[in-house]
Chain A
Amino acid sequence: MTLVHGEYPATRIGRAARSARAFWRRFRKNRGAVFGMAVFVVLVLAAVFADSISRYDPMEPGVGPTLGPPSGAHVMGTDNLGRDIFSGVIHGARVSLLIGMAAAATSAVIGAIVGAVSGYSGGWVDDILMRGCELFQAMPRFLFALVIVVFFQNSVWNIVIVIGILSWPRTARMVRAEFLRLREMDYVLAAKAIGMTTRRIIFKQMLPNVMHIILVTGSLEIGSAILTEAGLSFLGAGDPNVMSWGRILFNAQRFLRRAWWFSVFPGSAIFLTVLSFNLLGDGLNDAFNPRLKRIRRQ
């Protein structure tokens, strides 16, 4: 780490702590964002402690009556095979969070690298990468994911990779736009002047300055990845070895007339989760850029 004249580590830490407190103050004011944060914490707890919270194995049939309404023993009722829906919803949190976060992380990494290289280099590199970006944006994302998952293998990790690979363009575009601005800044010029390698300039000097953009789009991306996975599972193309929310809704489709609980509870879980990540993304965005406009959703 190089020290700018007159600046000592202690004051740097002090400044970081102050800006973190200011950030938290702004974030706290947004009630939606706080709600989103709370739901996120509950979800993480549910996912981590799924086995101790739920009384039954979500995949095990016959633990209750067939299509039993909500009761003391089965708070969210049971499905057509007598499986406990509450256990399914709790374990589903694990699947959704895992897929949502891993897919968003994949797309963030690809998007950040493509966006950074594209914005920093400009010229033909930028042209080629942006055309690739457009191609991915023009593809019907969900259909493409469906084709790959149905034809190859519908495992959790395959779904993660497919969603991740199909959803990086939004991050790439935002990072690129910011890099176009940053590369003209004095500190980049200074870094070039002292002979720093391009790789170091991009990843060590500039990338930390766009982390807030990656975080905000990442949060929105988690929500949309969870929706995509739920849609795939709802069409029967999810991982057959795990109980996901979309899969419960797929099973519920034939029993809507007889068992409302079969659809209402797992669906609410998806709805609340996606809502919380959207609110969280908006809140983070407002807290990072108090004066700037919101990152526009596509």
Chain B
Amino acid sequence: MWTYIIRRLLQAIPLILLILVTNFIILHLSPGDPVSFYVQGGTGVTEEFVAQMRAQFGLDKPLGVQLALFLGNAIRGDLGYSLYYQQSVIEVIGARMSVTFLLVGCSMAFAVIVGITLGVFSGRNPYSVVDRVNTVVAVLGYSIPVFWFGQVLIILFAVYLKLLPTGGTPIAAIGQGGIASWFRSLVLPTLALGVVQLALIARITRANMLEILGADYITTARAKGVSERAITFKHALRNAILPVLTVIGVDFGTLLTGAMLTETVFNWPGLGRMMLDSLLRRDYPVLMGLLIVMSVGVVLLNLLTDLLYAYFDPRIVYT
């Protein structure tokens, strides 16, 4: 088990490196750099000053040297210093990570719980009214643009029904109105981001439940007199859940992208927003830091889903 985990982590290193190197090269080949952006519009900026700044941040060195320096520092846990925030990249990212994790975590939990419930119900009662509604909702949910759904939720629940806040940070909300207000500010973003995943999970769970409930071992279980509840949850769902795990793992990247769009709609100060702002400011150190966090996140989540496979299906053994 541990050997497997370690091997998987080692295997991920070349992939992460390749993503980093590609992005590093693209960032540095593009026109404009952080210094030219930083001094833009400033008065009395001399050529010497710009050159001095470039030298200070190592931007005057050849690309290969810059890359080697960056990777060397990254391995030692130093991701560099952000010109714009005047802080180390680790601090900048750390401060905002919790907001994004909160959003992604809540959406994922919402999508998994509701999606599996709907999928199981539909699979047990195929072609019922609820199943038909579920199927339509799943197709609609898969096609809706996350950011537009967020806007519609704001218009409906915040502007017209005045039930929920339009946005604002959940952390600030604690200070204003306690836990209830914190929860209220989370509802709309979670719904907006979770619905695509929900649709996908419901659809796959339904298909798998349908297939498995027709299997011979389910008939055997029924013949033995196992209760329907036990058949559904112990015999069928445990097997139907594996492909759902795959979807969660594969779609984690999509979820992060969605988080970026959702954060923009609801004005949340998370990593997604920072990514966009840093792109516009050419803040290379922050961008590279974000890419590291995201690719490592994707790799770890994929590993976690593989390990969960073994939990749900004891036949799968990793060595």
Contact = CB atoms under 8 A, between A and B. Distances in A.
B159 A263 contact: no
Interface string A20-58: 000000000000100000000000000000000000000
A24 to B, nearest CB: 22
A249 B155 contact: no
B264 A235 contact: yes
Given A139-B19, A257-B159, A249 B264 contact: no
A227 interface: yes
B86 interface: no
Contacts of B30: 151-152
Contacts of A275: 139-140, 143
Contacts of B251: 298
Contact of A231 (B147, B152, B155, B166): B147
Interface in A228-276: 230-231, 234-235, 249, 252-253, 256-257, 260, 263-264, 267, 270-271, 274-275
**What class of interface size applies to chain B in its complex with A?**
35 or more
A52 to B, nearest CB: 28
Interface string B229-271: 0000000000000000000001101101100110011000000
A83 to B, nearest CB: 18
Given A256-B151, A267-B152, A231 B145 contact: yes
B257 A231 contact: yes
Interface of A: 32, 134-135, 138-144, 146-148, 150-152, 223, 227, 230-231, 234-235, 249, 252-253, 256-257, 260, 263-264, 267, 270-271, 274-275, 278-279, 297-298
3 closest Cβ contacts across the A-B interface?
A151-B30, A267-B148, A275-B143
Interface of B: 15, 18-19, 22-23, 26-27, 30-32, 139-140, 142-148, 151-152, 154-155, 159-160, 166, 200, 250-251, 253-254, 256-257, 260-261, 264-265, 275-276, 279-280, 287, 291, 294-295, 298
